[in-house]
Structure 1
Amino acid sequence: MKIFEAFMDPFGPFEFLARWGHILSGVTWIGLLYFFNFVQVPAYAKLSDGARSEALRNITFRALWWFRYAALSTFIFGLLIISVYMGDDPSGESKTELYFRGAHGVAILTGMLFGVTMFLNVWGIIWRNQKVVIGSAETVAAGGQADPAAPAAAKAAGRASRANTFMSIPMLFFMVFAGHGQWFGNDTKGTIVYWILVLILWGLVQASAMGLIGGMDGPFNKAFFDDHKRTIIGGFVWLAIIYFIGFELLLAP
């Protein structure tokens, strides 16, 4: 069967199937991320306490299962894609070096930085804090007292979710750019300065979302994470800075 010929080679069937799984999982993950931020949060703000509690227990809880495991499978399929490019090709040249060189490599590594951060936010911040919020809602529904830690947990989960939405815009751009940004060749310059710029911008967003810069209600969070529309605008501005300064100014040969 043709599908088993050169199964593990770069651009072979294994990579294709891993990439297909990566995209399918990613669509599910990011689709739910946008549902939470663009639909659920604004809608829940208009519900009564009782209706919001019931929705948290019956809608959000189910959606979070698909959300976190879609994030996990996206991450795993991404690792499988990268595994194809480990080691040397038959000529003795490093497949890893070939895959990550030039503009393609910089773009895919940039997308990976944001994507892995988003994955860690899902499991390390969002889900961990949402368990507190949903647990509190279940306790109240059973006639008990609300968990006093629930409001802070909801804020922490919300900030991380908005940070993921913010980062998803450049993440998706650079993932697609790596395969289809054909106007950039393999010759690049200024890579070190580019990464300094990207890491500073990434650190600002992530540290702010975690409350490490000015607390959970610091200036950056208030400006970009309080309203989902400003989160979207901020993500596109962030992308423009990285692309036009990073790629067009610093990396272009």
Structure 2
Amino acid sequence: MEDLVFMLLRFLHFLFGITWIGLLYYFNFVQTPFFGETDPAVRSGAIQKLVPRALWWFRWGAMGTVIFGLLYLLMWWAMRLNYAMTPWTVAIFTGGLMGLIMWANVWFVIWPNQKIVIGNATAMAGGAPANPAAAPAGRRAALASRTNTLFSIPMLFFMGAASHYNLFNEATPGGITGWLVVTLIVVFLVEANALIGTQGVTKKPLDSIAGTIHSGLALWIVLVVIIKVTLG
């Protein structure tokens, strides 16, 4: 029964996660370039009718991923590892940290700002003047979405590494502290760029798909090096 519960939690975590990340990639790799090339009338119609549907599955996919992932993590860590800091724990905590930040971006940055954009498109279709807050809201939502895409690359690696790649052999208390402190600093600096960064150079890598992917790969390498240096 215990094995069945763990399997069901992992299955639901994967199912919701595929829904979430799949839509994240759709928004960034398909929809955004399409909106940049299409005419205003088509874009307005899509924002009013397509985007709300996609965002519903997007945000609830994120919610389910986090709920079932946290249940699995806490139960496995307690029942199978007795709260030990093993390579599995470090890998899951590293990926899970980025996953939680991504979830927060969805619910507290992307969705509130997208509601402004959707409301503006609906109002303008009815003849109302443009809402001056819509453009900055769209920019903020897009930047948070690109940051989530960036985070998804190392996040998925560490989730897989927990079961398939041994990042180190034995942790020391000093090594765990070093890993945790440096990882938190690096990850929150990346997130700060999404929340409070200026319109200048700090955001330019995320203005393109290639820049976002390269930044995600760079963060992946940095986080692996942090673990190797502090715990290796």
Question: Shorter-chain TM-score category?
Answer: over 0.9
Bigger RCO (CA 8 Å, 6+ sep): 2
Segments of structure 1 that go 5 or more residues without pairing to the other structure are: 1-6
**In structure 2, do the counterparts of structure 1 residues 248 and 83 end up closer, same or farther at CA, with 3 Å as the change threshold?**
closer
Query: Does structure 2 conserve the Cα–Cα contact (< 8 Å) formed by 1:15 and 1:80?
Result: no
- Gapped runs of 5+ residues in structure 2? none
Instruction: Using structure 1 for the length normalisation, give the TM-score.
Output: 0.86
2:203: which partner in 1? Answer: 221
Q: Secondary structure at the match of 1:147?
A: coil
* In 2, Cα distance between equivalents of 1:60 and 1:233: 27
Indicate whether 1:163 and 2:147 are aligned: yes
Q: Is the 8 A contact 2:193 2:203 kept in 1?
A: yes
> Could you tell me which residue of structure 2 aligns to residue 127 of structure 1?
111
Structure of higher CA gyration radius = 1
CA distance in 2, matches of 1:129, 1:64: 12
Give the number of equivalent residue pairs.
230
1:247 aligns with 2:190: no
Aligned equivalents of 2:77 and 2:165: distance in 1? 23
Per-residue deviation at 1:153?
A: 0.5
1:44–1:52 contact (8 Å) kept in structure 2: yes
User: What residue is the counterpart of 1:193 in the other structure?
Assistant: 178
1:110 matched to 2:94? The reply is: yes
Quick check: 1:151 aligned with 2:135?
Answer: yes
CA drift of 1:95 comes to: 4.3
Alignment TM-score, normalising by the size of structure 2: 0.94
Give the C-alpha shift of residue 246 in structure 1: 1.5
**1:20 Cα shift?**
0.3
| Percent identity of paired positions between Structure 1 and Structure 2 | 40
Kept in 1, the 8 Å contact 2:150–2:215? The answer is yes
CA deviations on 1:152-206 (whole Å, 9 max, x unpaired) are 1001101100110000001110011011114643x12422222222112111111
C-alpha contact 1:32 1:67 (8 A) present in aligned 2: yes
Larger helix proportion, structure 1 or 2? 2
Per the TM alignment, residue 83 of structure 1 is displaced from its structure 2 partner at its CA by 4.0
Aligned residues: CA RMSD: 1.6
